[in-house]
């Protein structure tokens, strides 16, 4: 069966990893969790870099590790991208790619080489040495280098962590292109909620070396008891399509079941599928529709669940999970407001969405 299956245990003096997972055979699986929870260690186990790891690893029906044998890293068909590009400084970008191709198990054709160069947009910088490239350009070359080895699995360990916001925003569209153009599984480690919201198809949440939750990303984004659903980061991610554009007011209209919401205008075409992120702090709740409000997005909803925000002073805040025409929405309001409105599962209310943003 295509996909990734593994059951890995690793004991250290100060850390134990115990992870059993079955991951999709394509798309981006995000491994999310706080620093020190085992994300990078998990990737190192998949790559065969942790010699004391016990268990089994199977990628697209190929057994990379069992209780009896362990394939060395150089015999595993994988590509790796780290926080730092780690390009050879004495070689040009082209030279770095050529060096990787010479050492790879399977060589790309000229058409495959050109495809990678075009997807990553690096044709113009191939003659340059790493010292003359920006951080974003170096990382794009590093990603191209990994793709040119024609891996069956691509591992990415916080590849944007060392970049500023401008360079991160520069690279994210290229990562989305890779997901669209290649039918290979990508395991992407991050502790950034923004990157997770934009890229994840499947989500694995780690804590202290243990898998505490896994599943389809859009479904998990609407749950209330996960680490990223706390404080100002709480919110949902939904997928829908652009139905209209109003250049006069700089707004796009996006469908939400039987209703629509307005978001800041983007470069998306009418009918294009988009991913929206709505932060819980930007959602308020009323018992009736307030038409005399500056908030454009006012939608009827039903309360699904009420939970305590577990952040600092969270006892005074509530996370309200709602259903809007089949779409999940989360609101973060004070405990006093929740009590005054008498919010309970099943209650019919109106939600006011102050802000929503297209993230992809």
Q: For residue range 78-127, what is the model confidence (pLDDT) as tens digits? A: 999 998 888 999 999 999 999 999 988 888 999 999 999 999 999 999 99
Are the C-beta atoms of 254 and 240 separated by less than 8 Å?
yes
Which residue's entry shows tokens 């082209």? Answer: 94
- Which distant-in-sequence residues (6+ apart) come within 8 Å of 219 by Cβ? none
Task: Give kind and range of the element (H or E) at residue 209.
Answer: none
Domain ranges of the chain: 4-220, 232-358
Closest CA to 200 of 184, 216, 214: 216
> What's the CATH class of domain 4-220?
alpha beta
Q: What is the mean pLDDT of the chain?
A: 91
3-class DSSP state for residue 265? coil
Residue 341 CA neighbour count, 13 Å, CB half: 23
3-class DSSP state for residue 85? coil
- Which distant-in-sequence residues (6+ apart) come within 8 Å of 221 by Cβ? 197, 203, 235, 236, 237, 328
Kindly report whether the global pTM for this prediction surpasses the value 0.85: yes
Which residue's entry shows tokens 């102050």? Answer: 354
Domain with residues 232-358, CATH architecture: Beta Barrel (2.40)
Q: For residue range 247-261, what is the model confidence (pLDDT) as tens digits? A: 899 999 999 999 999
Are the C-beta atoms of 153 and 64 separated by less than 8 Å?
no
Measured CA to CA, the distance from residue 7 to residue 26 in angstroms comes to 19
Q: CATH topology of 4-220 equal to that of 232-358?
A: no
Are the C-beta atoms of 330 and 283 separated by less than 8 Å?
yes
- 39-53, 221-235, 294-308: the lowest-pLDDT one: 221-235
pLDDT at 186: 96
């Amino acid at each position: 069966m295509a996909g990734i299956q593994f059951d890995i245990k690793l004991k250290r003096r100060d850390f134990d990893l115990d992870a059993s997972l079955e991951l999709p055979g394509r798309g981006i699986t995000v491994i999310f969790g706080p620093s020190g929870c085992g994300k990078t260690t998990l990737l190192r186990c998949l790559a065969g870099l942790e010699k004391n790891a016990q268990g089994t690893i199977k990628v697209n029906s190929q057994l990379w590790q069992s209780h009896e044998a362990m394939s060395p890293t150089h015999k595993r068909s994988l590509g790796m991208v780290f926080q730092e590009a780690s390009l050879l400084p004495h070689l040009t970008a082209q030279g770095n790619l050529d060096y990787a191709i010479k050492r790879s198990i399977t060589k790309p054709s000229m058409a495959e080489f050109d495809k990678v160069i075009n997807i990553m947009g690096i044709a113009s910088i191939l003659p340059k040495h790493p010292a003359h490239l920006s951080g974003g350009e170096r990382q794009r070359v590093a990603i191209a280098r990994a793709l040119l080895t024609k891996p069956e699995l691509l591992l990415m360990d916080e590849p944007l962590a060392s970049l500023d916001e401008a360079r991160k925003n520069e690279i994210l569209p290229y990562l989305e292109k890779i997901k669209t153009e290649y039918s290979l599984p990508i395991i992407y480690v991050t502790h950034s909620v923004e990157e997770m919201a934009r890229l994840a198809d499947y989500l694995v949440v780690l804590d202290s070396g243990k898998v505490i939750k896994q599943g389809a990303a859009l479904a998990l984004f609407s749950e209330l008891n996960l680490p990223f659903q706390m404080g100002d980061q709480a919110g949902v991610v939904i997928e829908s399509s652009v139905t209209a554009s109003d250049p006069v007011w700089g707004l796009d209209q996006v469908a939400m079941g039987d209703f629509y919401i307005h978001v800041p205008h983007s470069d998306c075409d009418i009918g294009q599928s988009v991913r929206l992120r709505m932060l819980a702090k930007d959602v308020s709740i009323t018992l009736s529709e307030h038409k005399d409000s500056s908030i454009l997005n006012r939608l009827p909803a039903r309360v699904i669940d009420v939970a305590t925000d577990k952040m600092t002073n969270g006892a005074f805040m509530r996370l309200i999970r709602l259903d809007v025409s089949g779409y999940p929405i989360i609101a973060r309001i004070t405990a006093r407001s929740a009590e005054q409105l008498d919010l309970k599962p099943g209650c019919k209310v109106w939600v006011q969405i102050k802000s929503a943003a297209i993230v992809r």
